[in-house]
Every structure is written in structure tokens, then in C-alpha cells.
Amino acid sequence: MSETPQTWTIETVLRWATEDFRGRGIESPRLDAEVLLAHALTTTRVKLIVEARRSLDPSELARFRGMVKRRRTREPVAYLVGAREFYGRSFRVDGRVLIPRPDTETLVDVALARTRSCSMSMRALDLCTGSGCVAITLVRERPTSRVVAADLSPEALVLARDNAQRLGAYNIAFRQADLFSGLEPLGPFDVVTANPPYIATAEVGSLQPDIRDFEPRVALEAGPGGLEVVRRVVGGAPAALVHGGVLAVEVGVGQADAARALFEESGFEGIEVARDYGRIERVVSGVLR
């Protein structure tokens, strides 16, 4: 940015950042530039269009330049702005938790659809809760439900509690736990949801640097086959569910068939596989016999 600050308008700085990101192989250069500039200016992407010819002052340029430098290292945009939308709500996120993704909205859809019969009094357990996006969404979509949100990471739970308070999801109990361990007195549950780690150890190194270098590895890696945690979730769920209770688990690409077999071995019936927005088989669910 060699020109004098007075020559930099919203339009020109967006063009510069877009080309910079594109040249570095960033997948959505224009979108990233707009989101970061809107955050730096405390405005909206719509206003960036309306005020495209407004000149930026030195302090605004400095804020944006700092964010561009961090994005060049592939630090995720969601971490840079501190938020990500999920199911129409804004969740705070940082390096303590995985970034909520649209794929995981399918997990919520499945859980809600398969528990209509107990919609007024649903008791749910959300494992590997991270930012709390699934647990909080279940509570907001079903205000009379009671949800337990569990995670192995105490740091993640701090952020999840903050999200719950901000979003008005008050009937959630947060617990630090290694999956079902120590949660027995809080059950049984009508539904258990989980978005567990499901990346095979050998595949972690090939992930996009945005994910590999910044998102918590403990929430990504799941042993040599990628199904170790999924296996523990499915195997432990029957003891936590009421008879006829529902288990819904998010899985990785190509894992649905193996997960279905795990459900069958653990006594589930009515097993279904739901596809995400990209038409990938993403969520396996079943009813406990």
C-alpha cells in the first residue's frame, strides 16, 4: 500500500486486498476482503457498496492492514472478526473452538425432525459442544427443552457459556466431560447429538492451512481411521438414552456406511443418513430399540 492514505477509498482498498488474497491462493478473496473491511470499519458489507468512494483515514487503514496481514497467514476470517453465523444466529468464536459450519446445521435439522414427539419436553445431550452452536440452537428452537452441553475442553466451555448468555439460551447445563463420563446422573436423554472429531491422523496434514494451523487439533483428529471417537459415541449412547431415544452424529466424507454399521451393532434401528448442503452424507441417526 504505497500510495498516500488519502488516495485509498473503500473501493480501491477492496480491490487491492482481493487481488492480494487471490494471489496467495485464498479461496474466497473478495468475500474475505469485504468481511474484514466491514469489521475494521464497524459497518456492513452493504454500506461498503454504498460508500465505495469514501476515503479511509489512517487509523481505518491501519486496522484493515493488520487484519490483512493476519489473513495472509491463513488465519480464519471467523477468528479475525470473532464471530460466525450458525442457524441464523451469530456465535462468538476464537482459537478455543472449531468454527461452526453450515454442514453442522444438518445435525440440528435431524435432531429436531426426529424428536417431534417430545418437542414440548425434550431432554438433550450435546457432546463435543465446542462453541455451543448445536446445544444453543436446540434450546432456542425448542424453548421448553432441557439440554446438557459437554466438552472435554474447559476453555471451549467458557466460550460456549458466553454464547448461551448472549443468545438467551438459559436452560443449558454445561459440563466438562470426556464424552459420557460422569454425565449418568443427568440422564436419560431423549436425544444425543455429537459433532465429534472425525479426521484420520494421516489426513490432518493435508487439510487447508486455515483449519490445520489454527483450529484446535483435539477437535479434529480422531486416530488412524478417523472413527475412533464416533465409535465411542455410538457405543456409549444406549446407556444415556431412553428407550426409543435418538442418536444423531455428524461424520466425515465417506464415513456414513461405517458409522451406520456401528449404529446397528449398538442396537439402533430406523437408521437414516442425511446429506448436508453440499449433498455429502453428513449425519447418521437412529432410534434405540
Mean model confidence pLDDT for the chain: 95
Please give the pLDDT value at position 6: 53
- Full-model pTM: 0.92
pLDDT in tens, 27-65: 999 999 999 999 999 999 999 999 999 999 999 999 999
pLDDT in tens, 57-67: 999 999 999 99
What are the backbone angles phi and psi of residue 180, rounded to the nearest 5°?
-85, -5
Confirm if 37 and 12 have CB atoms less than 8 A apart. no
In the structure grid, which three cell numbers stand for residue 91, read together?
456465535
Rounded distance between C-alpha atoms, residue 142 and residue 67, angstroms = 38
For the chain (289 residues), the mean pLDDT of every run of 10, in chain order, is 66 96 95 97 95 94 96 97 97 97 97 94 97 98 97 98 97 97 94 97 94 95 95 98 97 97 97 97 97
Q: How far is CA 251 from CA 10, 46, 190, 241, in A?
A: 41, 36, 21, 20
Beta bridge partners of 181: none
- DSSP secondary structure letters along 266-283: TTEEEEEEEE-TTS-EEE
What are the domain boundaries of the chain? 5-69, 83-288
Rounded distance between C-alpha atoms, residue 95 and residue 78, angstroms = 10
CATH of domain 83-288: 3.40.50.150
